[in-house]
Chain A
């Protein structure tokens, strides 16, 4: 008989039965949906009351182009936005910075000043749409711009629903949009959480991501363990500032992938919810049940998709959507079938949205909460995943805790090692991938490559640079200089930097200027290069 091993290393038996649930206290460990420890999901009636939010990741070119794509998808039933920013924006470089050459508007929308954010959200009612901002190193200034746009639209602070990703620890491990050293980077994360918790009660000022670390190569159990460890690090940061856990924890959210084997993914989330709930209550003393709820965007990872026979990715996307629904996602986002080789086309974006809608409306996956609960296999797997996640958490502690593991690069090295293990399994055919290492069609290879690609337009950069020059010309230069000086002064102290950053953005200081003011004080991160 063929041996089956899951991504986390668990061996799967050919069948499961009551004997696999020996010693399980159902009331304590499994419970009911909507009840502590939320193994079966955070809401009692789940999707019968509220379907998952569909939030495709969009952004390219100028803010005006992105604005048009937002409106296109909203007209087709997408109910929330997830903004992609270009790399110069994510790294705090203005569009006319020499290092931004060739990158302006390429992998997301370009933002230099508040004027760009105003244009991106023109005609989009920010009191009714929730907006996720995929921004980390620059989360503080970009979110400050978002709050300013909402204010100028006349939206009350308590109606603003936004989720800046603001998870810098995972950026040091994967994705790489760090700028400052670890400590000041964490200070900015905490400043934004604190400021938002006090003034924008419906914002979700941090979205803790296992997603990108998994995409970088770690296992399912590691993805959950690292995410939980990062969440705990942020909780400790806020407690150290004198906030109580229930003041901010109800608004902590998560972002995880689910592209692997369906039942393993479901078990990962069931185990993760249970561990998070217990950690928040037992370790951090949370009283509010909402502080114990693992609310997550669950979506695909582009790494599941292949450039070979790319239409097959549409099918893979449907399984990812099913896994996310069965896992109890609050928000769903899917990679597009063309993601293995390009920036998503409008057609591919729409197919991804339709995939989620078909899953919601036609498949039955949304009919009842945690439909796999009580399955011998899934309950046993949930327990097995929990054991592995706890082991990986202990491994992080052996590296000196998550912050030290990131600072030293030990975590990055482990993730890279796992990526290589995965690649070798693919090469050896141990991890099957249709049309890649099994069922490979003859002569298919060349035909696959004949795909339509997103062409970036040099005019985007020109337009962006021209607009930036105009804003610089028209703004009150003295107000900008004063605001930037104030920001630098406060960065040298210990105050929350958000009010000073808000002053800068509303004076139309550029992102590059704000970044430079902070970098002059904080310095730059020196990457521990390990592989």
Chain B
């Protein structure tokens, strides 16, 4: 299973993204990391080109709703809606349901244990948005 860990938007804090990338690699995933400040369009293109199963968006600035919407809509428009999208970062609890309504398979708000994230990625293939 292959995942793309992505940093959309302008936020430059990638500790969480890199820690999750390490944990997934240790759990046997093939992991690609985009680097900082990628546009949704760049992330969509990389997800398709790398043929990943899951895209993990890491967003700490608070702009998670518009950014997630653009990535999910872009994947659909490109016919790549078999790629799951999960979201982590400083996500307030009240935004979890709206993110799922946008089509996110799983949302990891602050304080989510690393092990829970790995489990959710493993389940990613089965969970249909």
Residues of chain A having any CB pair with chain B under 8 Å: 87-88, 90-91, 93, 99-103, 106-107, 171, 174-177, 215-217, 303, 306-308, 340-343, 416-417, 419-420, 423-424, 427, 436, 448-450, 453, 456, 527, 529, 531
Contacts and interface: CB of A to CB of B under 8 A. Distances in A.
Nearest to A454: B62
B39 A216 contact: no
Interface string B9-26: 111111100110111000
Contacts of A174: 12-13, 15
Contacts of A450: 93
Contact of A342 (B11, B18, B39, B92): B92
Contact of A176 (B12, B23, B92): B12
Given A307-B109, A419-B19, 10 more contacts: A91-B37, A107-B62, A175-B13, A176-B37, A342-B90, A416-B18, A423-B19, A450-B93, A456-B62, A529-B34
B37 A102 contact: no
B12 A427 contact: no
Contact of A529 (B35, B90, B93, B109): B35
A462 B3 CA distance: 37
A172 to B, nearest CB: 10
A527 B9 CA distance: 15
Contacts of A420: 18-19, 22-23
A319 B71 CA distance: 42
16 contacts: A88-B10, A91-B10, A106-B61, A106-B62, A176-B14, A176-B36, A176-B37, A217-B15, A217-B19, A307-B110, A340-B110, A416-B14, A423-B19, A449-B109, A456-B62, A527-B35
A396 B33 CA distance: 24
A300 B114 CA distance: 24
B15 A416 contact: yes
Contacts, number: 102
Nearest to B11: A87
A173 to B, nearest CB: 10
Contacts of B19: 217, 416, 419-420, 423
B67 interface: yes
Contact of A101 (B12, B35, B66): B66
B15 A103 contact: no
Contact of B36 (A99, A103, A527): A527
B34 A176 contact: no
Contacts of B113: 427
Contacts of B111: 306-308, 340, 436, 448
A269 to B, nearest CB: 23
A91 B9 CA distance: 11
A103 B61 contact: yes
Contact of B22 (A93, A102, A529, A531): A531
A341 B92 contact: yes
B45 interface: no
Contacts of B21: 531
Contacts of A343: 62
A103 B9 contact: yes
B12 A102 contact: no
Nearest to B16: A419
Given A99-B10, A531-B22, A341 B33 contact: no
A308 B112 CA distance: 10
Contact of B10 (A87, A341, A419, A448): A87
Nearest to A308: B111
A132 B65 CA distance: 32
Given A102-B66, A176-B37, A216 B15 contact: yes
Contacts of A456: 62
In the complex, the 7 A-B pairs of residues with the closest C-beta atoms, listed nearest first: A176-B12, A87-B10, A102-B63, A416-B18, A420-B22, A307-B111, A529-B35
Contacts of B67: 102
B9 A102 contact: yes
Nearest to B66: A102
Nearest to B7: A176
A127 to B, nearest CB: 34
A130 B22 CA distance: 42
Nearest to B65: A102
A273 to B, nearest CB: 27
Nearest to A93: B10
B93 to A, nearest CB: 4
A100 B21 CA distance: 27
A159 to B, nearest CB: 34
A171 B92 CA distance: 26
B113 to A, nearest CB: 7
A339 to B, nearest CB: 10
A449 B109 CA distance: 10
A444 to B, nearest CB: 11
A99 B39 contact: yes
Candidate in B11, B34, B39, B65 with the most chain A CB atoms within 10 angstroms: B11
B33 A531 contact: yes
Interface string B52-95: 00000000011101110000000000000000000000101110
A427 B61 contact: no
A306 B112 CA distance: 11
Contacts of A106: 61-63
B17 to A, nearest CB: 8
B110 A103 contact: no
B68 to A, nearest CB: 11
Contacts of A529: 33-35
A215 B109 CA distance: 19
B34 to A, nearest CB: 7
A453 B110 CA distance: 13
Which residue among B11, B19, B36, B94 has the maximum number of chain A CB atoms within 10 Å of its CB?
B19
B15 A419 contact: yes
Contacts of B36: 176, 527
A505 B94 CA distance: 41
A247 to B, nearest CB: 32
Interface in B91-129: 92-94, 109-111, 113-115
A416 B109 CA distance: 21
Contacts of A216: 13-15
